[in-house]
Structure 1
């Protein structure tokens, strides 16, 4: 885990203070079972890819998280976005917005992503896939992870 500099920490705290979470919205929930899944799969490893995108304006910004899961049972995808309004100060710089996305927004959105993957795979695969624990600082840019809990 990378530690933040004092300057980064102060800038991030200032952005948190001047922004408000206006909403969380699912953009996509998808699961597709493979035609030839092995019988009796109860828990399985999966490849997990997590990506995020940001957008900004002078009055608001957003972070959208996409998680793709590939397993022996099939594929699942969840896309969730958080919308934030800005009280003052204008649009955050790209590096600060990226820091906010990886330190704050990902942690806000991950429970929604986890629930979406678990619910979709439970219904379609018959057994839910559980995403691994996400720890602070683990996501610094678009990333992939191996395995599920």
Structure 2
């Protein structure tokens, strides 16, 4: 195991592999929830993030929760990326390094799945797909205070 001070985001990337993408929640509910919004007004999503460690300490999961409150209803997507580690214990990764990995690697892996799940569920429930705009690295970013 490397020394904790020697663990960098680069070493986490080198010693990790994406082993699974899972959907934990995908829902859309019709019903006006924002009575003051203008029809056709741009809707900004809210994001939440959670990190779960494996009991064996050989990996972790990053979950990205995306929620839209629109004039048509509520849309929620909770998608997770499972990472397996080799040579590094997940709990030995300093929190700031893990957040750097989440913000610059994991989020970028999850965004296409979030985009597809939201487009699919909104097409089925509302009759037309809600297409998320391009999200560039750094546009969604979490800090220590925002993680569970």
Q: Equivalent residues in 2 for 1:1-149 (5 A)? A: 11-34=8-31, 44-57=41-54, 58-91=57-90, 92-141=93-142
Structure 2: unaligned runs, 5 residues or longer: 1-6, 34-38, 144-148
Cα distance in 2, alignment partners of residues 18 and 35 from structure 1: 46
Q: Which residue of 2 aligns with 1:147?
A: none
Deviation at 1:21?
0.6
Structure 1: unaligned runs, 5 residues or longer: 1-9, 37-41, 143-149
Q: Taking structure 1 as the reference length, what is the TM-score of the superposition? A: 0.78
Aligned to 1:127, the other structure's residue is in SS state coil
Cα distance in 2, alignment partners of residues 77 and 97 from structure 1: 25
Aligned to 2:68, the other structure's residue is in SS state strand
Aligned to 2:106, the other structure's residue is in SS state helix
Structure 1 stretches of 4+ moved >6 Å: none
Contact 2:45/2:66 (CA < 8 Å) preserved in 1? Answer: yes
Cα distance in 1, alignment partners of residues 133 and 124 from structure 2: 19
Deviation at 1:55?
2.2
Change (3 A) 1:61 1:32: same
Higher strand residue share: 1
Q: Taking structure 2 as the reference length, what is the TM-score of the superposition? A: 0.79
